Chain A
Amino acid sequence: MVAYIVRRMLQSILVLLVVGLVAFSMFRFVGDPIEQLLGQERTQADVDRLREALGLNDPFPVQYFDFLVRAVQGDFGISYRQSRPVADIIAERLPATLELALISGLLAVTLGIALGVFTAIRRRGVAANVIMSTSLIGVSLPTFLIGILLIYVFGVQLRWLPTFGRGDVVDLGWWSTGLLTESGLKSLILPAITLGLYQMTLIMRLVRAEMLEVLRQDYIRFARARGLRSRAINFRHALKNTMVPVITVTGLQLGSIIAFAIITETVFQWPGVGLLFINAVQFVDIPVMAAYLMLISVMFVLINLIVDLLYVWVDPRLRIDGKTA
């Protein structure tokens, strides 16, 4: 078991290193940060001085190595765009993204499971068929279109909800939250739906398929024959047995909710790390891009690691493999 964990950790570190290397080799193609940093009346001397000061004359493996050396000491450099430490900027922006991801994740799981169960039990009903058909929209429409549609209907036409931003936030020192103010909660609704819609339909369809499968099983039939109430059958016996794949998928999707927040954050001007990254690409803010990509890959690697370890814990056969390897 320990050997298995150590081996997986080492693999994770290798993945991170490769991601970083690929990222750094790509930065040259994003453009020249100097063009964005200095105004049109700059001189060549200014350009040369800044290029040297930022270490842009070094080949990219050297730049990458410098980044790694500083990153392991907790120093992610200084943003070209904002002239402030990248670590501070990301710490400022992360709460917005995590709150959005959390709420839309919760939304996706609760609504997805509820609707999935409903459409499985009443699979011939009109309502279930309407839900199933409309869920196709959630899977097929691109996120930015859904976002703009929601803004248009609920922001511009009905004027129920704000069209952009995070509303008022409460600063807790180490965390800024929009969950404690009315405007903050209102601002959260549309982006959370936009971000969570795809995951919700995914979970719903998964739960429905699994439920239909389970409901066909003999033990459900026997339960019915025993005269158990259908509530107990559906929720205690059937749903429980559909949860294993659902949990797996949801866990993996959590990572993509955070990563895909980029588009939702851009449409809603949501002040999270995704918006920060888009700006960084536009202004060739290499330190911010590097830190963001590393952060996202650390997150994915961690989630995968945890999922793998969970498998080991759930499935004894893997544990034996781990020992023999």
Chain B
Amino acid sequence: MRSILPLLALSVALPAGAAELRYASTTDPNTLDPHAGNSAPNFSLLGNVYEGLVRRGRDMSIEPALATSWEPIGNGEGWRFTLREGVTFHDGEAFDADDVIFSYERASSPESDVASWFAPVSEVVKVDDYTVDILTSAPNPIFPDSIANWMILDSGWAEANDVARPNIEQGNFATTNANGTGPYRVTERQPGLRTVLEAHDGWWDDDIGNVDRAVFQPVQNAATSVAALLSGELDLIEPVPVQDAARVEQADGVDVVRGIEARVIMLGFPHDADGLYGGDVEGNPFQDARVRRAVAQAVNVPAILQTVMRGSAEPVAQLVGPGMRGFTEGLDPYAYDPDAARVLLAEAGYPDGFQFSLRCPNDRYLNDEAVCTAINAMLAQVGLQPRLETMPVANYWPTLRAEEHDVYLLGWSPGTFDAEHPIRFLVATPDEEAKLGSWNFGGYSNDRVDELLPRIQSEIDDGARQAMLDEVANIVKDEAVYVPLYVQPLIWGVKDGVDLVQRPDNFVVLRWMEVAG
């Protein structure tokens, strides 16, 4: 009898009717305007409301959304998108090519926060009401992958409400109101407090679960949201703090859903500095690859993952995690070997180590401060003398930009879910004009990487492209340009009976949820 009971319970739970989902996350989207903010909390919420030409499926692959198909034009001059007919916005207006053109102009305008997605685009041409050509200045094989978060607004609605351009600093009607084509519409919005989404009956697709109403509330304090989950006031919280995950797992009526995020946590070095910011030696020892490799071998990543991250995270040897497009197979991280690290330091002329500054944020990544404290101790064990300093992220980025750093902690989530993304932002020689290397705080520069990057960006053939990505991944590893540590875990807490899909982009996709009644 005992084995049958759970089965019975399951079969009763499955054919649930319409359900409400109450969920919480730490950060409230700062705007409902999909072109005025470029951050995961925004797209996570707005992805339920607005849609792009393409969207990401359960496995992160690109699939048709407002475009039914797309194909390259000629010899890589751009992409032709065939649009879906019969789609309406939440206010009842029909969707057509004019909305795409309008949304392109809006999203690529100087007032937009997502304009950099359209840097490769030279022109967008309306062919007919349901066909649009997006022309690129160079062949761009991953363009459809890069616009999964480019959301389409209704041109009529935007003009009627005077929101033809996003307004980050002053705000406008689109900051607190939304009108998309997606499966949910916003019925209530109290910034910072509460957002209510309700199912949109006229949605064109039928891939939708039974959540017909969702209430989102930001809860900053992790202990508060865990308590609210345990007491049954919330059905889903993200994230569950690493240190609370085991407790939530053991509690009755709730469970933990784990996955890995797209974000790789790494150590960065001062490559182009003449001297150290917090050092006691002449010159910059980190310009010697042997010193950087010594750091890589001195950090015991498995130990950090076991203690600080409680076994939740995965080690990684490159700047993207597995599952991203262009991931290099067969690349192993440097093994933890403090003796080898000491030998490398001695070879480089620093047998007794040297002093430098180690900077970390303390409110940006999961347990970032604890991770850095562990790294600090591990580096000290091979004779290095790091001076650890942690600070809130609001101060952290400005110090890195001001070159006030030696070794620093950085997390990177590739917006395009492609290995080209971190190369463009983190490895390419900084060049403001060409919008390259804007987060390459160490100023690393490698001619071969700079030569390969444009070819990676325009290579149509997947095999040839992967070969070049592999080459860059190997350069980054051999030169120890960065020391990739681990892929950050995703830990959500859910009430029993909530069935959901967790993707590496950490988006809460309501339409894939089934909530038992």
**Contacts from A to B (Cβ < 8 Å):** 29-33, 35-46, 49-50, 53-54, 78, 80-84, 89, 92, 148, 151-152, 155-156, 159, 162-165, 266-269, 271, 275-276, 278-279, 282-284
- Contacts A39-B39, A41-B116 hold; do A82 and B192 have CB atoms under 8 A apart? yes
Stretch with Cβ within 8 A of A (4 or more), from B66-74, B151-159, B337-345, B388-396: B388-396
Instruction: Tell me whether B438 is interfacial, beta carbon within 8 Å.
Output: yes
B243 to chain A, nearest CB (A): 15
Contact assessment for B115 and A46 in the assembled complex, using a CB-CB cutoff below 8 Å: yes
A167 to chain B, nearest CB (A): 11
Q: Which of B30, B38, B117, B392 contacts A82 (CB 8 A)?
A: B30
Contact assessment for B169 and A50 in the assembled complex, using a CB-CB cutoff below 8 Å: yes
Instruction: Tell me whether B456 is interfacial, beta carbon within 8 Å.
Output: no
Give every chain A residue within 8 A of B169 (Cβ-Cβ).
37, 50, 53-54, 78, 80, 83
Contact assessment for B221 and A83 in the assembled complex, using a CB-CB cutoff below 8 Å: no
Contact assessment for A44 and B110 in the assembled complex, using a CB-CB cutoff below 8 Å: no
Of listed B39, B413, B425, residue having the most chain A CB within 10 A: B39
Selected A-B contacts with CB under 8 Å, 19 pairs: A31-B397, A32-B394, A38-B168, A39-B114, A41-B38, A41-B117, A41-B425, A46-B110, A78-B171, A82-B30, A83-B169, A92-B190, A148-B223, A151-B224, A155-B233, A267-B221, A271-B192, A271-B193, A282-B392
Contact assessment for B227 and A155 in the assembled complex, using a CB-CB cutoff below 8 Å: yes
Contact assessment for B425 and A40 in the assembled complex, using a CB-CB cutoff below 8 Å: yes
A195 to chain B, nearest CB (A): 15
Contact assessment for B397 and A35 in the assembled complex, using a CB-CB cutoff below 8 Å: yes
Apart from A33-B394, A278-B220, what 10 extra A-B contacts exist at CB < 8 Å?
A35-B398, A39-B113, A40-B38, A42-B113, A78-B171, A82-B171, A83-B168, A163-B231, A164-B219, A164-B233
**Contacts from B to A (Cβ < 8 Å):** 30-31, 36-39, 110, 113-117, 167-172, 175-176, 190-193, 217, 219-221, 223-225, 227-228, 230-233, 363, 392-395, 397-398, 413, 415, 425, 432, 435, 438-439
Q: Top 4 closest A-B pairs, CB basis? A: A39-B38, A31-B394, A83-B171, A35-B397
Contact assessment for B113 and A164 in the assembled complex, using a CB-CB cutoff below 8 Å: no
Give every chain A residue within 8 A of B394 (Cβ-Cβ).
30-33, 35-36, 282-284
Contact assessment for A37 and B191 in the assembled complex, using a CB-CB cutoff below 8 Å: no
Contact assessment for A151 and B227 in the assembled complex, using a CB-CB cutoff below 8 Å: yes
What CA separation (Å) do A293 and B386 show in the bound complex? Answer: 38
- Contacts A164-B219, A269-B220, A271-B192 hold; do A49 and B227 have CB atoms under 8 A apart? no
- Contacts A32-B398, A81-B30, A159-B231 hold; do A45 and B110 have CB atoms under 8 A apart? yes
What CA separation (Å) do A49 and B167 show in the bound complex? Answer: 12
What CA separation (Å) do A41 and B422 show in the bound complex? Answer: 11
Give every chain A residue within 8 A of B232 (Cβ-Cβ).
159
What CA separation (Å) do A35 and B110 show in the bound complex? Answer: 17
- Contacts A32-B394, A40-B425 hold; do A84 and B191 have CB atoms under 8 A apart? yes
Give every chain B residue within 8 A of A159 (Cβ-Cβ).
231-232
Contact assessment for A83 and B116 in the assembled complex, using a CB-CB cutoff below 8 Å: no
- Contacts A32-B397, A36-B394, A41-B415 hold; do A50 and B168 have CB atoms under 8 A apart? yes
What CA separation (Å) do A220 and B181 show in the bound complex? Answer: 79
Contact assessment for B220 and A279 in the assembled complex, using a CB-CB cutoff below 8 Å: yes
Give every chain B residue within 8 A of A267 (Cβ-Cβ).
221, 223-224
Give every chain B residue within 8 A of A50 (Cβ-Cβ).
168-169
Give every chain B residue within 8 A of A165 (Cβ-Cβ).
217
Contact assessment for B224 and A83 in the assembled complex, using a CB-CB cutoff below 8 Å: no
- Contacts A35-B397, A83-B36, A159-B232 hold; do A78 and B223 have CB atoms under 8 A apart? no
A84 to chain B, nearest CB (A): 5
Contact assessment for A83 and B167 in the assembled complex, using a CB-CB cutoff below 8 Å: yes
Contact assessment for A83 and B227 in the assembled complex, using a CB-CB cutoff below 8 Å: no
What CA separation (Å) do A40 and B414 show in the bound complex? Answer: 10
What CA separation (Å) do A39 and B415 show in the bound complex? Answer: 10
Contact assessment for A84 and B176 in the assembled complex, using a CB-CB cutoff below 8 Å: yes
Of listed A38, A42, A83, residue having the most chain B CB within 10 A: A83
Chain A residue nearest in CB terms to B413: A40
Contact assessment for A83 and B398 in the assembled complex, using a CB-CB cutoff below 8 Å: no
What CA separation (Å) do A36 and B27 show in the bound complex? Answer: 12
Of listed B168, B176, B393, B398, residue having the most chain A CB within 10 A: B168
Chain A residue nearest in CB terms to B37: A39
- Contacts A83-B30, A163-B233, A269-B220 hold; do A43 and B116 have CB atoms under 8 A apart? yes
A49 to chain B, nearest CB (A): 6
B273 to chain A, nearest CB (A): 20
Give every chain B residue within 8 A of A42 (Cβ-Cβ).
38, 113, 116, 438
Chain B residue nearest in CB terms to A269: B219
Give every chain B residue within 8 A of A36 (Cβ-Cβ).
394
What CA separation (Å) do A321 and B170 show in the bound complex? Answer: 52
Give every chain A residue within 8 A of B116 (Cβ-Cβ).
41-43
